[in-house]
Amino acid sequence: NAGVTQTPKFQVLKTGQSMTLQCAQDMNHEYMSWYRQDPGMGLRLIHYSVGAGITDQGEVPNGYNVSRSTTEDFPLRLLSAAPSQTSVYFCASRPRTGGANVLTFGAGSRLTVL
Amino acid sequence: SQQGEEDPQALSIQEGENATMNCSYKTSINNLQWYRQNSGRGLVHLILIRSNEREKHSGRLRVTLDTSKKSSSLLITASRAADTASYFCASGGGGSNYKLTFGKGTLLTVNP
């Protein structure tokens, strides 16, 4: 059981480039989310999804796009990277029903934008 | 804005001592959770306390919740060097409120 898998682990981009951070989970979790972690800022919610075809914005959605075509995958797209998007990105998931909203996290993707 | 705020930001203790971290939040909650993050890793869930509970134990962890003060504390007893990590509180409405809001974390260093 792999849990939540994020790729790539590290990425360096130039300003203006685009890329996609991949997130996949094999736990059949309906809810998936993306957070970014910056020093002194804790984790901030970017986007989340409560099921295939449904996405919504979190606290800091600007500059990021998401889609949810399958239950397993929730990619995060940066259309035109900016230095302010240098951060560590975490994908997390949980079941939609049953139990509390306890999240299972991926190992993170460290992105540097030059 | 961040709902949970941990205090202190950093804590350094000797092995065998107890470590206490505090968390404050701003709005009504369904439950409050604590997560641990080892350096360079993702967060791992430690313990959850519901809004109708005042105290909860799990191994060497003890969590308290005071909803009147909108605060929680995490106590790690008999700390070990392996407990060195960042600890985050997270609050959420639960149920159909899927968002979980994290604090900025407490960096705990346990010296051997």
- Residues of B within an 8 Å Cβ radius of A: 1-2, 4, 30-31, 33, 35, 40-45, 48, 50, 88, 90, 92, 94, 97-105
In this complex, which of B92, B94, B104 lies closest to A41 when CB atoms are compared?
A: B104
Per-residue pLDDT of chain A (114 residues; tens, 9 = 90+): 679 999 999 999 999 999 999 999 999 999 999 999 998 788 999 999 999 999 999 999 999 999 999 999 999 999 999 999 999 999 999 987 765 678 999 999 999 999
Cis peptide before A95 (omega within 30 of 0): no
CA distance B86 to B106: 5
- Distance in Å, alpha carbon of A100 to nearest chain B alpha carbon: 6
For the stretch B46-89, pLDDT in tens is 999 999 999 999 999 999 999 999 999 999 999 999 999 999 99
- Residue A78's CB: how many other CB atoms inside 10 A? 20
Q: Which residues of A touch B48 (CB under 8 A)?
A: 100, 102
| Cβ–Cβ < 8 Å for A49, A74 | yes
In this structure, the dihedral spanned by the alpha carbons of residues B10, B38, A94 and B96, taken in order and rounded to 10 degrees, is 0
